[in-house]
Structure 1
């Protein structure tokens, strides 16, 4: 009797509760092949087809295989769905919708009727917020560099650009994977399948000064006009930490001027005064230490923060971290471009951090919108006054500081450069983060750009790329 009970419970478990997880497993080959009898739903941008089907009849059975008309432009977000190599991107995380397996009553009825009538099951259509033209502009600007660009609307969280370089053509995954393996770029390994925009972890360099400045103002101990004396370095544990530009000390300057010209010593001393835990607490309010809640697979999104031996590290005591170096983006800090776009977006959005999203809506085969993504607040990162003050500092950095290469006539742009040294000459990680919009209005765009293996600064390498992407989205007539 006991064995019968165990058998019934086990069978019920595997056939009901565990069934969805088993179907979704990447190594479930039977389920994977069977799903190619389903006419998967399209994946669209507002104006382009990103993934569609190609029918092939074999032994009287019609199978549907994926084609990706935009090729490398949207490869990392859309992903791929194949027989041999399973799925990635939205093809994986939204597989249930794309195969018509969502568990609403109407979809179950439609699915059953299609089976009875011998018709192929038709999946739901996914409409994304990606701008294909701006994606193309981002890839052209990135060139042969290893790096990434993320652009989102800070008011709603909608992702407009997510470009990772080098990219690959998902049409090659099934039939010509060797072509993907031969892709090269200015880094080794080139790792074209890696989505550097949300999986790539890089030291943030001076872009993290936006977080440190926010922590300083939120503490009440500093204002934008607080003054510091810059001798060209600060001293941490008896050793000098120099400014990146060692040509001259700035002398007596304000906090606003220190951010404008990215003066390491000022932020180093702020870090020592505030302590690591206060700065990290501020970083967490921007979303650090959590996976950004995008619709792509969880394994393709990594959290930002301090890392130790390959794992996220949250120190218990201030003395466990070199707060001086952490305050200007070094130490063991590692961040993703998506996270830094969220930081710039929160500053531009009056301190409110919005949930990032790349899916606009999901539409049923009969044309009804089953699900629409609504803007959602993740929380308040900083007070409105702090967002205003830090935002003004960032505007000064673009107008007459380290970020002048990102200026765009007719737009108000606030940004911050970053140059993280790796200890290898000519191998800097360079950054630029920014928000932008019309004068007198809330910013409509937040951008983050990262590049690997650069010999120059973020202002010289990453800021022009950010400018190109912002122009493509905010002044489209300039980039037909």
Structure 2
């Protein structure tokens, strides 16, 4: 018999039997659920919104909520300085239509180095970081600089570009670091300096005017007497009873001053010379992405000045290396001069979107396309038997250039206060392949004697560039064949 000690045995307590009940009775469970619902509501409507800045707007005395249609999506500004990441997220996003134009590039390139290598730069434009991809070829830039460092002139510059696109492939300026004479007022970079006498590069202007205005062919015969490279009064006669007869192409190839001086005075005149100099871009701002000095061609007033301007025996008619390359490119491109460019594309660093892409841009026409053949022959003769014969030895002897058009013009003149100026402008082109078209300008001021000429540097840079392109094509063709 079980004893009763005044309380219900464990198995008969109100919480039920140990083996039959799973928790409190139904009434207790309902209270617990209601309590949990109340806590959940409190957290969802009060605690959490207060952390998110989503507290309900205050009410007026009449308990009508204050309507704030102008409230921005972001929180109110505070005294806390935001991190850089937050600032970029809220204010640096470009509009969908944002883009840079050609006219914006000079401002962008202000912070760029003047000594271009061709590798991409990260520059700042309107407080934004931009990745600038250049058209320059690092290999060509290194090669041009190595030539200058080997020959060590007082100053020098190299410009290579594609005359049919305007893309500059190499742009370098040289100043001899070990020569005390280099510490002068001569402005650098040299490739934009237009205080350098044009010398016989001006004969390109005269020859073009003679072909286009006078109708002279490259075989037209002229006469001169005396030294080829002087310009004396007795040489500047309209009718010479005695002298040496020579074709226009030969006179151009050998750069014979009295022939061009006489033709300037008695056949072309000051106005035609001045007009064609302007056709080639003298006295005109070059639309380049970097500041370039304006090349100068003065209007000649006397017969002697006309002869000097026509032959290039002038110290006041000056040109920049960039302009010299454009002049050679005008011959190569049958009279058309395109706007020179050094930037292929610009990428916004934050959005990784392209905001600028280069395109060909027409600048001016120097002469009519139908007059290209005689001018090309004259330029070619300079490299075949003229003043740049030795510089083009490897081009002439290579079968790979048999169908190419090539040539140029040399020029030498002493620059007051600086020494001898040695010029070369020229081109090497395949008419069927835009990529294998290149024009150049090379200048050395006071180069060491017998240690290289600008014509050799120019010819070698163009030759090696085209050979490299051809080898790349051959490799690609072999890879395709193996696949």
Normalised by the size of structure 2, how large is the TM-score? 0.63
Residues matched between the structures, number: 343
Tell me: CA distance 1:147–1:190, structure 2 relative to 1, closer, same or farther (3 Å): farther
Cα deviation, 1:61-87, whole Å, max 9, x if unaligned, reads: xxxxx9x9xxxxx743489xxxxxxxx
Aligned to 1:384: 369
| Deviations 1:426-466 (CA, angstroms, capped at 9, x unpaired) | 932111110102377666101001111146599x6111111
* Partner-residue secondary structure (3-state), 1:275: helix
State whether structure 2 residue 378 is matched by structure 1 residue 393. yes
The alpha carbon displacement at 1:367 in A equals: 2.2
Please, which of 159, 162, 174 is the counterpart of residue 153 of structure 1? Answer: 162
Contact 1:275 1:318 in 2 (8 A): no
Match of 2:478 in 1: none
1:210 corresponds to: 204
Partner of 2:115: 76
CA separation in 1, counterparts of 2:186 and 2:141? 16
1:202-253 CA distances to partner (integer Å, 9 max, x unpaired)? Answer: 11211221111011111134221211112135997846589xxxxxx98111
Please state whether the residue corresponding to 2:192 is helix, strand or coil.
coil
Matched, 1:258 2:251: yes
Aligned position for 1:469: 461
Task: Tell me the TM-score normalised to structure 1 length.
Answer: 0.64
Distance 1:475-1:186 versus aligned 2 partners, 3 A rule:
farther
| Residue 453 in structure 1 maps to residue 446 in structure 2 | yes
Deviations 1:173-230 (A, max 9, x none): xxxxxxxxxx334843267971100125211211221111011111134221211112
| In 2, Cα distance between equivalents of 1:406 and 1:140 | 17
Aligned to 1:142: 148
CA distance in 1, matches of 2:167, 2:470: 23
SS in 1 for 2:264: helix
Is the alpha carbon distance of 1:394 and 1:238 closer, same or farther for their aligned partners in structure 2, counting shifts above 3 Å?
Answer: closer
Q: Please list the CA deviations of residues 13-35 of structure 1 after superposition, one character each: whole Å capped at 9, or x if unmatched.
A: xxxxxxxxxxxxxxxxxxxxxxx
Of the structure 1 ranges 270-279 and 137-146, higher mean CA displacement relative to structure 2 is found in 270-279
Partner of 1:369: 354
- 2:117–2:141 CA contact under 8 A, matched in 1: no
Structure 1 residue 393, shift from structure 2 partner: 1.0
Provide the residue aligned with 2:311 in structure 1.
Answer: 328
Report the counterpart of residue 338 of structure 1 in structure 2: 322
Corresponding residue for 1:433?
425
Q: 1:402 to 1:347 in 2, by over 3 A?
A: same
On the 8 A contact 1:471/1:478 being kept in 2, the answer is no
Any stretches of 5+ residues in structure 1 without a counterpart?
1-38, 40-65, 69-73, 80-89, 92-96, 102-120, 168-182, 243-248, 307-313
Give the drift of 1:416. Answer: 1.0
CA distance in 1, matches of 2:233, 2:243: 22
Larger mean Cα displacement after TM superposition, 283-292 or 132-141: 283-292
- Structure 2: how far apart are the matches of 1:264 and 1:456? 23
1:404 pairs, out of 386, 389, 392, with 389
Change (3 A) 1:240 1:358: same
Please state which structure has a larger fraction of its residues in strand. 1
Cα distance 1:291–1:198, how it changes in 2: closer, same or farther (>3 A)? same
C-alpha contact (below 8 Å) 2:193/2:319 kept by paired residues: no
Q: Which runs of 5+ in 2 are unaligned?
A: 1-91, 93-110, 473-483
Q: What SS is found at the alignment partner of 2:446?
A: strand
Kept in 1, the 8 Å contact 2:203–2:310? The answer is: yes
Q: CA offsets per residue over residues 273-328 of structure 1, 9 Å max, x none?
A: 212331121111111112221112x3xx101113xxxxxxx43x643970101112
Matches within 5 A, 1:56-75: 75=114
Partners in 2 of 1:261 and 1:370 — Cα distance?
49
Is 1:129 aligned to residue 135 of structure 2?
Answer: yes
Contact map agreement 1:276 1:321 (CA 8 A) in 2 = no
RMSD value over aligned CA atoms? 3.5
Which deviations, in whole Å up to 9, do the C-alpha atoms of 1:379-426 show, x marking residues without a partner? 2111112222111111111022211133212333211111113478x9
CA distance in 2, matches of 1:469, 1:272: 37
Match of 1:347 among 328, 331, 353: 331
